[in-house]
Structure 1
């Protein structure tokens, strides 16, 4: 039997945007609304198993309702660009799901759905309507159930005619009478002033309809009678506006809605682009398709493969080492390390591919005494290696007491540089992108998740042989591409060298005093207990602070605070609600602090304790080079770039990070406002340049210029506003984003941004010019030539184009800042070796570098480090690095 599912695309997406926390992918695309919508869609598809699915969208701002009431929806604020840019991407994802979507000019999504539910009723088809708008309850019938989202979009409440009767005491069609009387502020439907839901329901229970209420005015009393009499026409018009039109002329037929599931490759590609890793895992979609197992066998059969697995293969090994010694041979190297974290990865083996033959070695064979010549070649810095993900390979080999030196070209790193927004950088995906064939994906060979399993030796060795051969073939192709795009220098002088620097830092690690962390944990527990007592004292009763239900009852029923959001299951107590309530009662700041400290305790104190490596007493992070489209490094296992330092308790965690040698110090230096300095250089704005050249406080300077006041007249609020807009400009902030940051209206935020551009005309010109250049070239570059392609910059869709334009503006700034600190790291590594210093680079945390330094080198390093950092790249304004030191990381800041 057929079952239809009709989804109100606009209302669900809006609800998802405001319910979900901010979320972006590495390309900077906002994705929180898309993620919320997708998780809800998957849940509904699994639970209801529809045969036909449609997502309906509003076609535009003007509908037939505006003909009778021009102010319809007139009170709505402009859609935040952070949301509007997600609609076209969401629609692409819906298509990848194999789901039909309609939008019809002049009508709203409600009308499309209303028309289809009428058809469903006439044909006896069971239908579920999914919406965030209770106006849709008017469509409920024997065959139509309306699912209204609650808790954002994570749950839905099902309304049948019976459920509507229980909830409101009304028939479904009386919902339009309810709206006629009480109005709807979200759609600017006026209703009758002073009539809310409670009064409207009372009137309808007695008189049944708006028309009957008006006909029985003599039975009403006082102000209610006056309001209904005075606004009778508004009530009738409001009822008309709230009535869903169910006769939309539709060219599309019902069979177009038939849902037969999704194509795994299409949906997988769409989810990878959005970087929805959890959904990829949930749906068990392959990371990339690659070749089939049969294709792989065919390709492997064409290769001459020599297996080296034991002492019995000494002759084969001798042939390999002879070929490696011949300078004419430039083989492809592949080292298989299984596991995402290279510090815990399992080395399975390696393969070395020449044009006519591939040698495959099990890891046990590499470690045997007879393989000493091979190990020497692997470690030799003068023997060039061409491989894949050599950064990870070098780390994994280090932990296995093997050395890898002379890494000259990394296929993964080069591919990332050529297109940093590419979703998948697996070897099989790169191979396929370059038009090569025959290499299956790792998932096809090993399986995924709980199904992961190392295959038999024959299958494993065949796979490793194909991988090394792919590296060999890809190396000249990608080298040529780097030359064509003018990125050879960037690759060979920055990205490849920094890969080696990072591997050294990561293997070195940073010592963490377990006892200090435990001490901090105990202090946090004591602080949390004290805060709990204070909260209980102010509440007058003990309760579970972590329970939203219990907390809501305390705040809104016992203490009588104004409820901001409420659902059938209780009151909302999310961070946004609590921050709005902070001025009303002293308990709120304590609850917010309790939540912050609880997260600090669980995520950072207890989390870091688990990450200390037993044999070293250190934490060893891993820096990913191929994640962020701007070139920024990303720390993992654990993430040491995200230790919160706004709270003093968060900063205290840094006390546990200490030198690994007695008598040494931790030395740290961070760039001062590097992105704003890059903006001053790129934009050539005289006001910005003047501030940095004369070492002025840039936020005070901005406040002076924007507000037209002297330095003495700049107060803390002015400086705070200037700081928000300064950094906002760098990250392409909108009036919506600035209004959220400063707690002001979007109108005031928009005015402030315009004032900024009126003063900093060079910045405005830079932004206009860079967008024009991006449209001409199709990409933007950093000062060092790093490219970011922007195919959507010429899109006819306004939202896609706007996102690309903002990306064009901020990528050269953020990307150049990322390049500069990498340059400083490479130059510092060279300086330490040239001077034969014992000091060690340990961490990079955004714009900060952290070292451990012996006492006799402290004065040298205090001078050398800021010199190298400030001279990493010549700009029209000075780069500035502030240096500090202490017995631990906390003291060094």
Structure 2
């Protein structure tokens, strides 16, 4: 069998990966998606082709020898997007780290290099495979040279393979005649003009009959159709030029060594470290960890599995200043813990023998209580004369009265709330949460793992990720089979939490987010933990009854829809629905895609006012979702205590808002009455009622304060209906004569402005023309002039600094503002306008939550905070405590922030959530 060389068109495959995959960025903000896609294509091709030699060719920026011949066509290619351009040196660095032979030649394109190497290899008796997205390379196909062309179909990449025979079968011409086709039909991607009026079909017919453009020109009078004949007559010089441009050079003067091109071990230590740096975690398992692993901390890891040793270890931890801890858990079960006393003493404590789950959690709880007691003593001893900020102490801070806000003695963890599921503590001063700190410092990431934190905050230190230590095993499986990997994982987590404390706290101070961390996010951990542990009670029989009501209405809608359609069809099938609506019924406004007509909500909502069947379909969809997600879905979420314990996520949203999952109780539909009725199933326990307090128009009030617009501030101070006031000003009608429609439109503008709405977006919302919407927005800014300046200023700030901030200092990075893509930049501008407002509102509700939770606890009340939904707090209130809790809600929610307009709270009481809301 002949040896084989794999030749890759570097820019072409990188370009295909860039446009074929979602854009990725690592924690440093580098775009990496094209590099990741390139590597996946490379690995797969090597596995399929099994070559002995490998070379990747790249273009250079200098004009090629071909394009120098034709100045009119030089430099007309579409410029490379910046997000792709910055990945070219990255892929070259990666290939070099893998030992891959990379070839460039000034004045020659990659396909000239590939053509030269393919012919050279063929002459040497080798097989050659060329991987490229450029069909020009089909001219090189022979029995020994195969061209592989990646093609994306419905989001999936397939490969088309061409030897000479496959080219003939597909294009009806021989590989060299591909050049003749290009001479006639051109190729805009390669700056080959072709001749006017000749497409692929006509070009193919001419070349099949005449073989070449020269022969076709000799038989000019016989050419058909007439348009092609006249075009050839007038533009033959252009056809000749196009042929020269399309012809790949197969004897480029390049230096090449098969020894350098020999395919060796791609999975080098250098490539491994670079994959880590770029955060390609899914590729790391391809590397032999023993061969690539750098010096690690593992020599400092110890296992402590005996009771006496464990007692001594925790005594030492309690006596020290700080300790890093990690709890190894899965499905509520504890398998062990990591305990880092310092960088030289890091221990894994497995649950086995005398060390039980209860014993281990008890020792961790005792450690937290000991730290808490120590901090309390320090604060009691403090006064303004003897307490100063300690430069050696990275997280001390001093109140105006001299007491320490946050003393240096603490327990560090990656996720304190995960610890609190197994141990009791209620003292934010006793802990440092590295995960929350990392989230504040970069809220755009989807996860905050210890290896990412180490790389970012420990001077680029590379630690093995969970996947490298445990593979795809569950914790329980690893505990049973791979104690060594589990021990290392626990130790790395404990070490990272401890070691990242100082640099993270310094970063929080440097970015102005120290107060956001210590006064908002850190106390919030304990507030959310309490809410999750209490949960909210659900009446299962009411849930069943609610599901039955939905089923009845869904059945009615189904019959109505079928009757209007004139036949039965699957309403849940977008394809069938599209045919019914846009073909059978002939509704206007349908958008046809490759898979059929789109029946997305935004399209149907435009049609609903005019077509009853569409209105019914939208209601059917909403009710079907209600039934599956809530009526049916909530049943499985009810715990043994009859309550649902949702998880509140603190580190998910970029704006700082809290989200909830398992189940999501923040996304219950409230636009229709049947949606609101789901709240009836949520009830307080006997002897309690629900008190529901909701901020009134908090984001608009924040906008008034942050913009300093006197008119908007005065309207709030006069307690006017703000939407009616806006309508009066915008539409120039007396306040008392504003119509309901004008008020509704003004309300849409008020809230739309907060979200950076465009004239197009507003026109869609109000079903008006874009011109009318633009006029509304223009009048709005004339009415409230400082708002326009404020929002424009936020965009400028975002462009200048790369981020915007809330009133409290929370940062929201906006990399989209530097994007080369217009849509991305526009999105970034909307984010810049909205994030400071929405983020400030999120900060305020968090402050209110923390204060309400603390007051309920400090005053030894039975009532408890059980739910937060954006701007709303729900308190399960003991009936005897209603007056006291009402006062607490009023005081703490209104007093959460000092604005130039008063924070207003709507409060209601009920025997279920529906009544209270």
- Work out whether 1:641 is the aligned partner of 2:666: yes
Match of 1:346 in 2: 334
Match of 1:533 in 2: 559
* Greater mean deviation of Cα atoms: 740-749 or 514-523: 740-749
Per-residue CA shift, 1:479-519, capped at 9, x if unaligned? 45444554443332222211111111111111223333333
8 Å contact kept, 2:325–2:413: yes
Per-residue CA shift, 1:498-548, capped at 9, x if unaligned? 111111111111122333333333333444344443444444444444445
Larger radius of gyration: 2
1: CA distance, partners of 2:752 / 2:881: 41
Note the 1:370-381 alignment, pairs <5 A.
376-379=366-369, 381=372
Q: Among 572, 597, 607, which residue is 2:633 paired with?
A: 607
Q: Among 315, 320, 330, which residue is 2:321 paired with?
A: 330
8 Å contact kept, 2:730–2:783: yes
- Taking a change above 3 Å as real, the CA distance of residues 369 and 718 of structure 1, as seen in their structure-2 partners, is closer
Match of 1:277 in 2: none
Q: CA deviation at 1:844?
A: 1.6
Match of 1:445 in 2: 469
Match of 1:521 in 2: 547
Per-residue CA shift, 1:761-804, capped at 9, x if unaligned? 32333344445556666654322233445688789999988776
Q: CA deviation at 1:832?
A: 1.5
2: CA distance, partners of 1:827 / 1:46: 60
Match of 1:276 in 2: none
- Work out whether 1:625 is the aligned partner of 2:650: yes
- Work out whether 1:651 is the aligned partner of 2:676: yes
Per-residue CA shift, 1:572-618, capped at 9, x if unaligned? 445169538947865544444444444333334433322222x2222
8 Å contact kept, 1:85–1:803: no
- Taking a change above 3 Å as real, the CA distance of residues 179 and 31 of structure 1, as seen in their structure-2 partners, is farther
SS at 1:417 equivalent: helix
Note the 1:456-471 alignment, pairs <5 A.
460=486, 464=490, 467-471=493-497
Q: Among 430, 433, 453, which residue is 1:408 paired with?
A: 430
Match of 2:301 in 1: 300
Per-residue CA shift, 1:638-697, capped at 9, x if unaligned? 3322333334443333332x2341142222222233223222212212343234333445
8 Å contact kept, 1:420–1:626: yes
2: CA distance, partners of 1:765 / 1:167: 60
* Greater mean deviation of Cα atoms: 434-443 or 821-830: 434-443
| Normalised TM-score (structure 2) | 0.69
SS at 2:915 equivalent: coil
SS at 2:845 equivalent: helix
SS at 1:630 equivalent: coil
SS at 1:884 equivalent: strand
8 Å contact kept, 1:544–1:550: yes
2: CA distance, partners of 1:243 / 1:647: 67
Match of 1:829 in 2: 853
SS at 1:397 equivalent: coil
Q: Among 504, 519, 534, which residue is 1:508 paired with?
A: 534
Per-residue CA shift, 1:135-186, capped at 9, x if unaligned? 99999988667666444667899999999999999999999999999x99xx
- Taking a change above 3 Å as real, the CA distance of residues 127 and 377 of structure 1, as seen in their structure-2 partners, is closer
1: CA distance, partners of 2:553 / 2:224: 62
- Taking a change above 3 Å as real, the CA distance of residues 655 and 151 of structure 1, as seen in their structure-2 partners, is farther
Match of 1:865 in 2: 889
2: CA distance, partners of 1:573 / 1:466: 49
Note the 1:582-731 alignment, pairs <5 A.
582=607, 587-613=613-639, 615-656=640-681, 658-702=682-726, 705-706=729-730, 712=738, 715=742, 718-719=745-746, 722-723=749-750, 725-729=752-756
Q: Among 342, 355, 365, which residue is 1:365 paired with?
A: 355
Match of 2:915 in 1: 891
| Normalised TM-score (structure 1) | 0.70
Q: CA deviation at 1:838?
A: 1.9
- Taking a change above 3 Å as real, the CA distance of residues 557 and 630 of structure 1, as seen in their structure-2 partners, is closer
2: CA distance, partners of 1:251 / 1:771: 52
Match of 1:571 in 2: 596
1: CA distance, partners of 2:535 / 2:27: 26
Higher relative contact order (CA 8 A, sep 6+): 1
2: CA distance, partners of 1:659 / 1:95: 61
8 Å contact kept, 1:88–1:799: no
- Taking a change above 3 Å as real, the CA distance of residues 471 and 866 of structure 1, as seen in their structure-2 partners, is same
8 Å contact kept, 1:664–1:853: yes
Match of 2:837 in 1: 813
SS at 1:490 equivalent: helix
Q: Which runs of 5+ in 1 are unaligned?
A: 105-110, 273-279
8 Å contact kept, 1:174–1:209: no
2: CA distance, partners of 1:205 / 1:297: 69
SS at 1:638 equivalent: coil
Per-residue CA shift, 1:704-753, capped at 9, x if unaligned? 55555565265377336514631332xxx566766766677878777765
Note the 1:772-851 alignment, pairs <5 A.
780-788=804-812, 807-851=831-875
- Taking a change above 3 Å as real, the CA distance of residues 530 and 826 of structure 1, as seen in their structure-2 partners, is same
Q: CA deviation at 1:270?
A: 4.5
- Taking a change above 3 Å as real, the CA distance of residues 12 and 651 of structure 1, as seen in their structure-2 partners, is farther
Note the 1:11-30 alignment, pairs <5 A.
none
- Work out whether 1:766 is the aligned partner of 2:793: no
CA RMSD of aligned residues (A): 6.5
